[in-house]
Amino acid sequence: MKKCAMKKYLIVNGDDFGATRGINRGINQAHRCGILTSTSLLVNTPWSQEAAELSHTSPELSVGLHVHLENGVRELNSGPSQVRTALDEQLFRFQMFVGQLPTHLDSHHNVHRDPELLPLFLELAQRYGLPLRDHSEVHHFSKFYGQWSEERHLEQISTGSLTRMLETEIEHGITELACHPGYVDPQDTSSYSVEREAELWALCEPRIRHVLAAQSIQLISYHDVPRLLAGAAV
């Protein structure tokens, strides 16, 4: 049995880093005061550089690339080469802002799951040896989310709900719990706003660390994944 499969390791990853100043503040606070260990950076917003600068003050925070394509292949009607160019450009901007390669790769609204886009994301991930969400040894857990069917469900992102998820749904091996903490911000034009603050309070609730300890769940970041996988292969 692989060593990492015998333990529970948890990455708590905040998507949308760089989306707005309020989201930047929320992700930074969730890392410093809560259980957030990782984030994914948007590189084409007015607040991307600010987010990258915040990440420089938190070396333990792993920072991945949160690819944002305005349109998919079908909408662009421009062929795979144009999407490859967009991916390469965003990777270049990431390195310009952060000073190194991302620790992992995912996408805004999970557009990489599109059957036409996925091969291009896999190509990029393989070229640089990056874990791609849903396509690596890391299990993606997406239930900590407070909206569906255009309705708000704050109960799903409460401290109690997060506690239940940690107690009953985190498997052995490496899991990435995706989250979207932040502060309500006028620059945030998405429908997911009040929910971000609810997530932030749950992630920063001190009781959650006691739950992690009771469940023998070890917090890690994507910085730790290569070492754990290498150890598991021995």
pLDDT tens-place string over residues 58-87: 999 999 999 999 765 544 556 788 899 999
Q: Is residue 96 part of a domain?
A: no
Give me the pLDDT at residue 189, please: 82
Tokens of 227: 């070492």
CB 17 within 8 A of CB 38: no
Q: Is residue 92 part of a domain?
A: no
pLDDT in tens, 33-57: 999 999 999 999 999 999 999 999 9
Q: Is residue 154 part of a domain?
A: yes
Percent of the chain with pLDDT over 90: 85
Q: Is residue 114 part of a domain?
A: no
Give me the pLDDT at residue 62, please: 98
Interatomic CA distance for residues 25 and 91, integer angstroms: 23
Report phi then psi at 48, rounded to 5: -65, -45
pLDDT at 2 over 50: yes
Tokens of 213: 């300890």
- Quick one: DSSP state of residue 62? E
The total number of structural domains in the chain stands at: 1
Interatomic CA distance for residues 20 and 132, integer angstroms: 24
Interatomic CA distance for residues 36 and 144, integer angstroms: 13
Containing 208, the helix (H) or strand (E) segment is: helix 207-214
Q: Write the burial class of residue 233 (CB in 10 Å: 0-12 exposed, 13-18 middle, 19+ buried).
A: exposed
Q: Is residue 105 part of a domain?
A: no
Q: Is residue 207 part of a domain?
A: yes
Q: Which residue has the higher pLDDT, 231 or 161?
A: 161
Interatomic CA distance for residues 21 and 77, integer angstroms: 33
Question: What are the residue ranges of helices labelled H in 11-79?
Answer: 21-33, 48-56, 73-76
The residue type at 109: H
User: By residue range, what is the domain housing residue 161?
Assistant: 3-63+134-232
Interatomic CA distance for residues 198 and 183, integer angstroms: 9
β-bridge pairing 217-220 and 147-148: unpaired
Q: Give 1's pLDDT tier (boundaries 50, 70, 90).
A: very low
CATH of the domain at 9: 3.20.20.370
pTM: 0.94
pLDDT in tens, 161-203: 999 999 999 999 999 999 999 999 888 888 899 999 999 999 9
Q: Is residue 26 part of a domain?
A: yes
Would you say the C-alpha torsion 144, 135, 67, 80 has a positive or negative sign?
A: negative
Interatomic CA distance for residues 204 and 169, integer angstroms: 20
Interatomic CA distance for residues 25 and 55, integer angstroms: 11
Q: Is residue 37 part of a domain?
A: yes
